[in-house]
Structure formats: structure tokens, C-alpha cells
């Protein structure tokens, strides 16, 4: 890594995760993405006079599940607060959120890099809380008329905000943390984490610490927004660290004598740009929402969630290494593909009896198809037991690897069953007698090659292997070579 | 004929076929026609819909269908409760043109009970005030003396009863807004336990204090209406999961030797002598009925007004933030000529101008005063000194009630420090107006039920109210006591000469 830079990067992340509930946080409107504007609204999420919120228990449960998985401290009771500010996409003039008693604090998430670019480390979670999303402002600046429209379909959608401590030391760590968090959320089935649809949104706080003759100097903290992919996060933070160093060299401004700034990532120009501050005061006048009761969280609920949690990515990687003898890289690749791929792998491994072969084939052949076709393992045309049978035959020597790849290719392309594909390719197993007879004929018919071999040009036997494959494509080339050499030596 | 009978009596006549719902509705509109040009209790009337609904009730009765508890009775509703597709102004310019797309739970319950809504009554804007002078449209006059206020904020709700326009009326009470106008107009009004009646569809002033309640000329009618209004509502998270009762049944049941606490602080400074006299006389009546009078002290009651005027404005400042001219209600848009560069900045400042213009023109003085008070008291650096401290006082006041109710079954005292005042008398002095709530805010801060009923008249012939308060969810006890008091007194039978 570029650890040659003369400073330390300090990053904290704020992640907003849209929870996978059918309905909104405080009303029964659906949360489906992409409906025509303002069709998924009711008096509650429109903020009409007299309407009152009622908490969605499912959303609260999903948030708790995440908090448990992040090893957070969960208080016995939590409450709802109003965050007051004016904005057109906020119909009540306040957002229902959680201020001083969030549902989770003091957790952590382990991150590691199989390529070893940084040492494994825990990233501490400062807090996680639930809040309702605002609507969307659609600005139409065509024809010089600033015409803004508001879509309130999203207003009231449950968001879990997860805030880390500033434990992240590089853009790569930031990206790794986000990937690991996303994977965890997918395993927990609490969010679809779709960044394009805004189900996962990331803001970052970053500054750099520079050692100088007079001690360590910290640059002003910058909040970076508008990063629409993990790749964008990595690049934006890389850019921002470098920018802060250059700016510090020019101005000498530090955290102590300059205010926090908000900058947006411009994906096309690949720069961060200072953002205009919203014309709202930063005094949100938080106070407990008198329309909602406090929520008590009984210990048995947390225990139940822990019991129902299932295996999470970190533990799963270790188990795959121990139980199947996979290396760290392979287990990482499989686990990162999600629960369903791991289940597929485990079935193939069990049934074919060779976990490493199963892991290799899935990584090389199966995942390639999934990526090319943008499908999940559920849509992959070859069932786990069929792949297992194919690999078992490879292991038995009934099928050579190259022929097996042809078989799999045919099963994927044409949706054929294993036997169908094998028959269609004319593959028949060759008995050892048949093979020996074939080799004998070839050695007899090619005395010059036999002579060459005897003269020490052992590679000349390759021509015999080629002829054998032409006569019968099902022969195992290594076997042909071994038998031919044996026959030539015997006939000496 | 109209004023002589109570709602309960009319129900009997309806059941016996001696009068029809249509006749009752017609009588209500005739009374309104005759008196409301002077009283001005109503903001909106709905004669056509009311007659259609009354006809349908009569029709269903003829067919022998099962009818609700209020079937065929005309009722008035304070204009802070949402009625689908009909004006719901909250007495504010801000919502002058607003028509909600949904019914408040209370309205649904009234419809289901067969009540016939005749119209929406006037109020202080967003229920903020004690005189109905803060209505953006016009003040309501006290039927006992048209030069005086009917009280507030449910001034229209009380005046329409005193004027004999309707037998039943729904008000709301945040700091005394049902009880003080009931006292000023010589009618009965109950603020139920917080959580007893759903707030869904009640346009919020101060969410932790607001409560919908019944008003009528007799305690029995108030009980009848409460039986319909009360009950758990899953759409209101603060609604209590406590079963409602048939409050109007068993009102004559003997109360035994009820211990009645007389709040010492309520008879100290500031109470008008005629009120003190009338209330003492009423206490004597209660004693004759078999109650034991016990003096109790509520040591934190002197701080109730201060606590109330922090908690309520803080919540109001947030509750009223939604009236910003963006989505509904009044929008004052001073648009700018487009295309002079820097769209972004111009757009943002234009947004602020729309906010400022809409809220400046949409809200009246008192509403603005409370929004500013609340905004200030919630601000960073001041919140602990004001809002948080007020919440502490609120807990102490609640503890006062808990202690008192260990010793007594009911608390009794005056509803107001003075009788109905003249228009304009307190408008220039908000503090004097706020002191109107001196005896009533305690029940809101503690969440207990409290009722005001007529107990005499002052030297000017103005009604005086007796306030009875009971422990949480003991509405029935209050109503029994009030009903049995009314069996022995006739204050509630007197009518203003209109």
C-alpha cells in the first residue's frame, strides 16, 4: 500500500441502511421502490394535521438483530426523539429519530484483508439508531425555472443509522469495512443493501494526522457525502486525504483553528467539492416525541435474537477453513458470495467428497457464470447434486478435467442434465483393456516414434497421445502416455 | 321545547317514536338560526348532510335495525377534529381552506354511534387561549352576557350548549380548555384521563397534554357521550389499553362515604369571593350527600402554570412546524423573477421567504408567541434550564396527586379564579390570560380526569364552576358524584335569556 505518505489517515463512517420491512416505520404504507411519486402515502407519512405515528415492531426487531450481530450494548429501554428542522421533503417539520438513548452502543465489526494489505482489526461501532427517512426533492432546473417537486413515497421508510468510531486508517479499510458490513446485513436479511436504490448510504468523516517537529497536527475534519458506490468511497477518501495534506501545506489550517466542512464527491471529475451549507440551523432542538411511548427491550428478546441469528460471515469463514481445509482466500471468496453460495458449496463438497475441488470449481466455473449473467446461485442451471456427481467422476478418473468442463459448459448453456450432456458429447468410459489395445496399435503403427523415444526423445510420445485422442476423445491422455511409454520400453 | 330536555331524555323520546331525528336536527338548526348571529358558536354548519344523516337514522329505526348509543342526537364538534372532506380550520387562517382526507377516530366513533354532526364550533386558534378571542375568524360570545367571553379554547363548544343550540358537544382540553369554558357558560365538561380518548385526528397543540372530552348540560349526558368517545385506539400510541365503561349506567349508585379533598392552595390568593362562596356551598351539598371533606395540600400547584407554559409551547413549537406552506394549508409565495443567475442560492432563499411569509400570515399573535416561547425553551443551552426543569416540576405535580389520592377519592375546588370576563380585558396581558388556567392545568400535567359543573352564579348573574378531579381512569366516580350533585341542585337547569 501507499504507506509512504507522511501522515496517518483517520476515518469514521456513518452508514444509513434501509431495513427490509414491507411497511414504513410509523405507518402502514408500503416501502416498495420505484412506485409513481406520492402514491405510497397516508395522513401519517404526509404529516397531515392530527395524524399520529405507531411504531413498526418488525423494523425495531430488524434493528435489534443488527445490533446484536454487531456485538452492541443494548439498553433495557429506548425512546424516540424529534429532530426539528425545516425542509420541503420533511413534511412534519421534524424527523422522528433517536437522540440520547439509541437502541445500540459500543459494538464492533472485525475486518481483515486476505491479501494482507492491513492486519485484521476490529472497527468499533459508536452507536446505531432507528429513524424515519425523509422524502425526495426532485429539482427540475430546465428552462431557467427552478421548479422543485417533492416525492414523499420514501418519507417514513425505516433507516438504521450505524456510526463507527474513527478507527479506520485507510480508504481500503473503509471499503473493506463497508463490504463486511454489507455482507453482515445481507446474512442477517435485514436489508437488501442496494446502493442504487438508496438502501445503503454512506457518509465519511476524514482528516489526517501529520507528525511535525512541534508534535502531531490534525487537519480540519471533512464530512464527505455523495459517494454512490464502495469504489467511490475508496477513491473519494484517497483524494480527500491527499487534498487535505496539500491544503495543510499551503494554509497550515488545523482542526483547532478551522471549522468542520462538508464536501461532496464528484464521481466524474474525481474530486471532492465544498458544499453549500443548508440554510437551516444546526440546533435541532431534540426532545422526546410525546406521540410515542418508550420501547422496553426485555433480555429474553435479545437472547432469542442471538439464538436465531445463525452463522455470521466471520465465524463461517473460520469454519470453512477448519472443516473443509480451505485456504483463507477460498473461504473468503465463498463467504463473500452470500449464504446461498456457501450452502451450495457445502452440498457439493459433501456429496463429491473433495471440498477443495468443489471450492475450485465453484470459484472458477460457477461464479464466472453468476457474474456474467448477473444471477444468483438460485438461478444457476446446475443443481448442487449434479455438480457433485460430475466432480465425483473427475475424482474417480472416469472423466478427465477438460471433458468435465465441456460437460458442465453444456449443462449450463443448454440446461441439460449430467447424463444427457455426457451422452451428447459421446463420452463413454474407456476400459483399461480397450485403452491398452489402442496404445498397442499406435505403437506398432508408428515405429519411428517408438525409435525416437528409445533414442531418448521422450516427448515424441506426445504425437501418439494426439492420435489416441483423435481415435477416441474419451481417453485419458496421461494414461495413454504412461501405457505407450511402457509398451515402447517393453518392446526394446 | 328544545332546551328543556337532556340528550338522555331525547333518546327516550326517539326510541318511543315521539320525535324523529329529523325533527331534532331541524330544532337544532332553528335554535342556531335564532341565536347564533349573536353567540357565534359555529364556524361551519352542515345542514344538508345533517338532515340526510338524520333521515337515514329514522329510516333505520323504522326498519328496526340496531342503532348506536347516540342515534339521532344532534352534536357539535370543536373545529380541531378532522372530518373527512369538510372544513377543519383549527380557528386559523393557516387551515382556512384545509379539508382533511380522513376522519378522526372520535368522529368515526360518533358516526358509528349514530350521532348527527350539525357543525364545527369556534375556538382559540389551534386551541391556544382562554377566551376564544384568538380565533382567526371571529370571537364567540357568552350566552349569559354577550359582552363577555365564553372562555376557551373550547368557547364555541360550551356556548352552543348554553345557548340551547345542541344537547351534546365535543371539546378538547390541554390546560383547561373544556373546563374553563364549561364554567364560564354554566355547562358540564369533562377532561378524561390522558389516553382515555383517542387523539388520532385531533390536530395537536401539546401532544402530552391534549385530550378530547365530552360537554353537555348535565353530568348524565356527559357520561353518555364519554361512553361513545372512550376506548383504546391502535392508531394512537398514547391511547390506554384500558377497557371503556358504560359511563352513563349506574350513575345513581350510592357512593358511600366518599372522601373529598379540598385543595387548600386553590382557596388562597386570587380567588374571587363570590366563587369562593359558591364553591363552599357546593362542598356543603357534597357533605350533606354523605361525603367526608378533607383539606389536602398540593404543594407544587403554585408552579403548575409555569411548568405548563413551558411544556405546552415546547411541544407546540414542534407540532406546528408542519404548517410551512409546502404541502397543504396557507402558502404565501412571493416568487421572484427567474433567470437572474445562481439558481441554487436564489432557490434556497426563496424557500425561506415562503416559509416566513406563510407562517407570518397564517398564524395569529398568540400562536406565534407560543411557538417562539417553545422554540427558545428547547434551544441548545436553554433546554435544561427550561424544558427539562419543567418536566421535573411536572413529575412533582404528578407526585402531589398520587399522594393526595392516597388519602382522598376525589379532589374538589373552583374551576376558575374568576367568572367570565369582558372582551379585550385580558388580551393585552398574556400573563393574566394564562392565570385563567391556574386551577385546571394540574389535571393535564398529571393526566388525571377532571370535570367542571355549574355550582352557582356571581353578583353579575354569571355561572360559576365547581371542579372535581379523580384518580386516573376514575371518570365513572366523577360522573356519579356530579350526577348526584345535580339531583340535589338546579344550577344546571338555569338558562340564559337570549
In a domain? residue B279: no
CB contacts of B204 in chain A (<8 Å) are 49-50, 291
What is the rounded average pLDDT of the residues A155-178? Answer: 98
A359 and A473, same domain (yes or no): no
pLDDT band at A474 (very low <50, low <70, confident <90, very high): confident
Q: What is the mean pLDDT of chain B?
A: 95
B152 and B224, same domain (yes or no): yes
- Tell me, what's the pLDDT at B340? 47
The pLDDT tens digits for B281-291 are: 999 999 999 99
Residue B347 clears pLDDT 90, i.e. is over it: no
- Tell me, what's the pLDDT at A91? 97
Chain A, nearest residue to B338 by Cα: A145
pLDDT band at A142 (very low <50, low <70, confident <90, very high): low
Q: How many Cα neighbours within 13 Å face the side chain of B85? A: 2
CB contacts of A292 in chain B (<8 Å) are 237-238
Chain A, nearest residue to B84 by Cα: A43
Q: What is the mean pLDDT of chain A?
A: 92
- Tell me, what's the pLDDT at A462? 87
B233 and B86, same domain (yes or no): yes
In a domain? residue A222: yes
How close B70 comes to chain A (CA, Å)?
A: 24
CB contacts of A88 in chain B (<8 Å) are 324, 326, 351
Residue B497 clears pLDDT 70, i.e. is over it: yes
- Tell me, what's the pLDDT at A426? 79
Structural domain for B85, as ranges: 7-259+409-493
pLDDT band at A492 (very low <50, low <70, confident <90, very high): low
CB contact under 8 A, B234 and A86: no
CB contacts of A80 in chain B (<8 Å) are none
The owner of cell 328496526 is: B64
Number of domains chain A is built from? 3
Q: Which residues 54-83 in chain B show a CB within 8 A of chain A?
A: 80-82
Task: For residue B177, indicate whether it is catalytic.
Answer: yes
B250 and B316, same domain (yes or no): no
Residue A173 clears pLDDT 80, i.e. is over it: yes
Of A43 and A278, the one with more pLDDT: A43
- Tell me, what's the pLDDT at A279? 42
Residue A288 clears pLDDT 70, i.e. is over it: yes
- Tell me, what's the pLDDT at B345? 47
A79 touches chain B (CB under 8 A): no
pLDDT band at B189 (very low <50, low <70, confident <90, very high): very high
Q: Which residues 343-372 in chain B show a CB within 8 A of chain A?
A: 343-352, 355
A290 and A343, same domain (yes or no): no
A275 touches chain B (CB under 8 A): no
Sequential DSSP letters for A419-477? HHHHHHTT--PPPHHHHHHHHHHHHHH-HHHHHHHHTT-GGGHHHHHHHHHHH-TTS-H
In angstroms, the CA A263 to CA A43 distance is 36
CATH number at residue A440: 1.10.10
| Domain-terminating residue out of A261, A279, A300 | A300
Nearest to A52 among B200, B320, B349 (CB): B200
CB of B74 closer than 8 Å to CB of B118: yes
- Of residues B20, B131, B135, B153, which has the active-site annotation? B153
B376 and B424, same domain (yes or no): no
pLDDT band at A99 (very low <50, low <70, confident <90, very high): very high
How close A188 comes to chain B (CA, Å)?
A: 29
A158 and A286, same domain (yes or no): yes
CB contacts of B234 in chain A (<8 Å) are 54
Of A463 and B306, the one with more pLDDT: B306
CB contacts of B324 in chain A (<8 Å) are 86, 88, 93
Percent of chain A residues past pLDDT 90, beyond the cut: 73
A365 and A386, same domain (yes or no): yes
B435 and B344, same domain (yes or no): no
Closest CA to A204 of A221, A224, A175, A230: A224
Task: For residue B78, indicate whether it is catalytic.
Answer: yes
What is the rounded average pLDDT of the residues B161-182? Answer: 98
Q: A53, A136, A284, A290: which to substitute to probe chain B, counting the most B Cβ within 10 Å?
A: A290
Q: B120, B211, B319, B385: which to substitute to probe chain A, counting the most A Cβ within 10 Å?
A: B319
In a domain? residue B385: yes
Of B431 and B395, the one with more pLDDT: B395
CB contacts of A55 in chain B (<8 Å) are 237
A67 and A87, same domain (yes or no): yes
B354 and B416, same domain (yes or no): no
CB contact under 8 A, A50 and B208: no
In a domain? residue A1: no
B110 and B50, same domain (yes or no): yes
In angstroms, the CA A445 to CA A441 distance is 6
B79 and B138, same domain (yes or no): yes
CATH number at residue B16: 3.90.1300.10
In angstroms, the CA B291 to CA B478 distance is 13
| Domain-terminating residue out of A249, A271, A300 | A300
In angstroms, the CA B191 to CA B212 distance is 7
A98 and A216, same domain (yes or no): yes
Quick one: cell of B226? 364519554
In angstroms, the CA A256 to CA A217 distance is 9
Q: H or E stretch including A319?
A: helix A313-324
Closest CA to B43 of B78, B13, B7: B78
| Domain-terminating residue out of A244, A274, A300 | A300
pLDDT band at A5 (very low <50, low <70, confident <90, very high): confident
What is the rounded average pLDDT of the residues B376-380? Answer: 95
A181 and A228, same domain (yes or no): yes
Closest CA to A219 of A182, A185, A250, A247: A247
Nearest to B378 among A50, A86, A287 (CB): A287
Nearest to A291 among B90, B207, B317 (CB): B207
In angstroms, the CA A42 to CA A21 distance is 17
DSSP state, residue B64 = T
In angstroms, the CA B466 to CA B262 distance is 11
List, as own/partner pairs, every contact residues B245-250 make where C-beta atoms lie below 8 angstroms and the sequence separation is at least 24, other chains included: B245/B475, B245/B476, B247/B223, B247/B475, B247/B476, B247/B479, B248/B8, B248/B220, B248/B223, B248/B224, B248/B479, B250/B476, B250/B480
A267 and A329, same domain (yes or no): no
Residue A454 clears pLDDT 80, i.e. is over it: yes
The pLDDT tens digits for A307-365 are: 999 899 999 999 999 999 999 999 999 999 999 999 999 999 999 999 999 999 999 99
In a domain? residue A144: yes
CB contact under 8 A, B238 and A94: no
Residue A432 clears pLDDT 90, i.e. is over it: no
CB contact under 8 A, B322 and A49: yes
Calculate the alpha carbon distances from A245 to A7, A167, A272, B23 in Å. 8, 19, 14, 86
- Tell me, what's the pLDDT at A425? 84
Task: For residue B208, indicate whether it is catalytic.
Answer: no
- Of residues B78, B120, B191, B426, which has the active-site annotation? B78
Sequential DSSP letters for A21-76? -SB-SSS--B--TTPSTT-S--TTTTT-TT------HHHHHHHHHHHHHTT-B--S
What is the rounded average pLDDT of the residues B89-104? Answer: 98
**Neighbouring-strand partners of residue B145:** B142
Residue B2 clears pLDDT 80, i.e. is over it: no
B21 and B84, same domain (yes or no): yes
The pLDDT tens digits for B433-451 are: 888 899 999 999 999 999 9
B93 and B214, same domain (yes or no): yes
The pLDDT tens digits for A365-422 are: 999 999 999 999 999 999 999 999 999 988 887 888 888 999 999 999 998 999 888 8
pLDDT band at B334 (very low <50, low <70, confident <90, very high): low
A146 and A259, same domain (yes or no): yes
Structural domain for A460, as ranges: 432-490
Residue A191 clears pLDDT 60, i.e. is over it: yes
- Tell me, what's the pLDDT at B125? 98
Q: A285, A286, A292: which to substitute to probe chain B, counting the most B Cβ within 10 Å?
A: A285
What is the rounded average pLDDT of the residues B116-142? Answer: 98
In a domain? residue A305: no
B312 and B381, same domain (yes or no): yes
ipTM of the complex: 0.95
Amino acid at each position: 500500500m501507499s504507506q509512504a505518505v507522511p501522515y496517518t489517515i483517520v476515518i469514521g463512517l456513518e452508514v444509513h441502511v434501509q431495513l427490509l420491512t414491507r411497511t414504513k416505520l410509523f405507518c402502514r404504507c408500503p416501502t416498495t421502490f420505484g412506485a409513481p411519486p406520492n402514491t405510497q402515502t397516508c395522513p401519517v407519512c404526509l404529516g397531515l394535521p392530527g395524524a399520529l405515528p405507531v411504531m413498526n415492531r418488525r423494523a425495531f426487531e430488524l434493528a435489534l438483530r443488527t445490533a446484536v450481530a454487531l456485538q452492541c450494548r443494548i439498553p433495557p429501554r429506548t425512546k424516540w426523539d424529534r429532530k426539528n428542522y425545516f425542509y420541503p421533503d420533511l413534511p412534519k417539520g421534524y424527523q422522528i429519530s433517536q437522540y440520547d438513548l439509541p437502541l445500540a452502543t459500543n459494538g464492533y465489526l472485525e475486518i481483515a484483508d486476505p491479501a494482507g494489505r492491513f492486519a485484521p482489526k476490529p472497527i468499533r461501532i459508536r452507536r446505531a439508531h432507528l429513524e424515519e427517512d425523509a422524502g425526495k426533492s426532485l429539482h427540475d432546473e430546465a428552462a431557467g425555472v427552478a421548479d422543485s417537486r417533492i416525492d414523499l413515497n420514501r418519507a417514513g421508510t425505516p433507516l438504521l443509522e450505524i456510526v463507527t468510531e474513527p478507527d479506520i486508517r485507510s480508504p481500503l479499510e473503509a471499503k473493506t469495512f463497508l463490504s463486511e458490513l454489507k455482507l453482515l446485513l445481507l446474512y442477517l436479511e435485514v436489508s437488501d443493501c442496494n446502493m442504487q436504490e438508496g438502501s445503503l448510504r454512506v457518509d465519511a468523516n476524514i482528516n489526517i494526522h501529520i507528525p511535525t517537529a512541534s508534535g502531531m497536527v490534525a487537519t480540519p475534519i471533512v464530512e464527505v457525502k455523495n459517494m454512490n458506490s464502495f469504489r467511490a468511497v475508496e477513491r473519494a477518501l484517497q483524494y480527500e486525504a491527499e487534498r487535505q495534506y496539500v491544503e495543510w501545506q499551503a494554509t497550515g489550517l488545523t482542526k483547532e483553528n478551522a471549522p468542520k466542512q462538508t464536501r461532496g464527491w464528484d464521481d466524474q471529475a474525481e474530486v471532492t467539492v465544498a458544499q453549500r451549507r443548508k440554510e437551516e440551523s444546526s440546533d435541532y432542538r431534540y426532545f422526546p416525541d410525546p406521540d410515542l411511548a418508550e420501547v422496553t427491550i426485555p433480555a429474553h428478546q435479545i437472547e432469542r435474537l442471538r439464538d436465531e441469528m445463525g452463522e455470521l460471515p466471520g465465524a463461517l469463514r473460520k469454519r470453512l477453513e477448519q472443516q473443509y481445509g480451505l485456504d483463507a482466500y477460498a473461504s473468503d471468496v465463498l463467504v463473500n458470495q452470500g449464504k446461498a453460495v456457501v450452502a451450495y458449496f457445502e452440498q457439493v463438497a459433501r456429496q463429491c467428497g473433495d471440498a477443495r475441488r468443489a471450492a475450485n470449481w465453484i470459484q472458477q466455473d460457477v461464479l464466472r457464470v453468476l457474474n456474467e449473467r448477473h444471477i444468483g446461485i438460485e438461478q444457476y442451471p446446475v443443481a448442487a447434486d449434479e455438480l457433485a456427481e460430475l466432480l465425483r467422476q473427475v475424482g474417480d478418473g472416469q472423466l478427465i478435467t477438460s471433458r468435465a468442463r465441456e460437460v458442465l459448459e453444456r449443462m449450463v448453456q443448454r440446461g441439460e442434465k449430467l447424463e444427457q450432456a455426457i451422452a451428447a458429447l459421446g463420452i463413454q468410459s474407456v476400459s483399461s483393456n480397450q485403452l491398452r489395445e489402442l496404445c498397442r496399435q499406435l505403437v506398432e503403427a508408428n515405429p519411428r516414434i517408438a525409435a525416437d523415444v528409445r533414442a531418448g526423445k521422450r516427448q515424441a510420445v506426445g504425437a501418439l497421445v494426439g492420435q489416441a485422442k483423435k481415435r477416441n476423445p474419451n481417453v485419458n491422455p496421461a494414461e495413454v502416455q504412461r501405457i505407450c511409454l511402457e509398451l515402447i520400453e517393453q518392446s526394446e | 321545547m328544545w332546551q328543556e330536555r337532556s340528550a338522555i331524555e331525547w333518546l327516550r323520546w326517539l326510541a318511543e317514536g315521539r320525535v324523529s331525528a329529523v325533527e331534532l336536527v331541524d330544532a337544532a338548526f332553528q335554535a342556531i338560526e335564532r341565536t347564533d348571529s349573536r353567540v357565534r358558536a359555529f364556524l361551519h354548519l352542515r345542514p344538508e348532510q345533517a338532515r340526510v344523516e338524520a333521515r337515514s337514522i329514522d329510516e333505520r329505526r323504522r326498519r328496526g335495525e340496531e342503532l348506536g348509543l347516540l342515534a339521532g342526537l344532534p352534536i357539535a364538534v370543536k373545529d380541531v377534529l378532522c372530518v373527512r372532506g369538510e372544513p377543519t380550520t383549527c380557528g386559523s387562517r393557516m387551515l382556512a381552506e384545509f379539508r382533511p382526507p380522513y376522519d378522526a377516530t372520535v368522529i368515526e366513533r360518533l358516526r358509528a354511534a349514530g350521532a348527527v354532526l350539525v357543525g364545527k364550533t369556534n375556538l382559540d386558534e389551534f386551541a391556544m387561549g382562554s377566551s376564544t378571542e384568538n380565533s382567526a375568524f371571529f370571537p364567540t360570545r357568552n350566552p349569559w352576557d354577550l359582552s363577555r367571553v365564553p372562555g376557551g379554547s373550547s368557547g364555541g363548544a360550551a356556548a352552543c350548549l348554553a345557548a340551547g343550540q345542541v344537547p351534546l358537544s365535543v371539546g378538547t382540553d390541554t390546560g383547561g380548555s373544556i373546563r374553563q369554558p364549561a364554567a364560564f357558560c354554566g355547562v358540564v365538561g369533562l377532561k378524561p384521563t390522558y389516553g382515555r380518548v383517542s387523539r388520532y385526528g385531533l390536530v395537536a397543540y401539546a401532544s402530552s397534554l391534549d385530550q378530547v372530552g365530552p360537554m353537555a348540560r348535565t353530568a348524565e349526558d356527559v357520561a353518555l357521550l364519554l361512553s361513545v368517545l372512550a376506548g383504546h385506539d391502535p392508531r394512537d400510541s398514547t391511547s390506554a389499553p384500558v377497557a371503556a365503561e358504560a359511563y352513563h349506567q349506574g350513575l345513581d349508585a350510592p357512593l358511600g362515604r366518599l372522601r373529598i379533598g379540598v385543595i387548600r392552595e386553590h382557596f388562597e390568593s386570587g380567588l374571587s369571593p363570590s366563587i369562593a362562596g359558591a364553591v363552599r356551598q357546593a362542598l356543603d351539598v357534597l357533605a350533606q350527600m354523605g361525603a367526608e371533606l378533607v383539606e389536602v395540600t398540593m404543594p407544587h400547584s403554585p408552579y403548575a402554570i409555569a411548568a405548563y407554559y413551558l411544556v405546552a409551547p415546547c411541544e407546540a413549537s414542534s407540532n406546528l412546524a408542519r404548517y410551512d406552506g409546502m404541502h397543504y394549508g396557507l402558502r404565501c409565495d412571493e416568487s421572484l423573477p427567474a433567470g437572474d443567475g445562481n439558481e441554487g442560492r436564489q432557490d434556497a432563499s426563496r424557500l425561506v421567504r415562503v416559509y416566513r411569509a406563510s407562517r407570518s400570515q397564517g398564524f395569529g399573535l398568540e400562536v406565534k408567541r407560543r411557538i417562539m416561547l417553545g422554540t427558545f425553551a428547547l434551544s441548545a443551552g436553554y433546554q435544561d434550564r427550561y424544558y427539562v426543569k419543567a418536566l421535573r416540576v411536572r413529575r412533582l405535580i404528578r407526585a402531589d396527586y398520587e399522594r393526595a389520592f392516597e388519602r382522598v377519592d376525589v379532589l374538589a375546588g373552583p374551576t376558575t379564579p374568576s367568572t367570565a370576563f369582558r372582551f379585550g380585558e385580558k388580551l393585552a396581558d398574556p400573563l393574566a390570560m394564562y392565570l385563567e388556567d391556574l386551577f385546571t392545568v394540574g389535571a393535564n400535567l398529571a393526566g388525571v380526569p377532571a370535570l367542571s359543573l355549574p355550582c352557582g352564579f356571581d353578583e353579575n348573574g354569571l355561572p360559576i364552576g365547581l371542579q372535581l378531579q379523580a384518580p386516573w381512569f376514575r371518570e365513572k366516580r366523577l360522573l356519579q358524584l356530579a350526577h348526584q350533585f345535580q339531583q340535589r341542585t338546579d344550577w344546571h337547569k338555569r338558562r340564559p335569556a337570549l
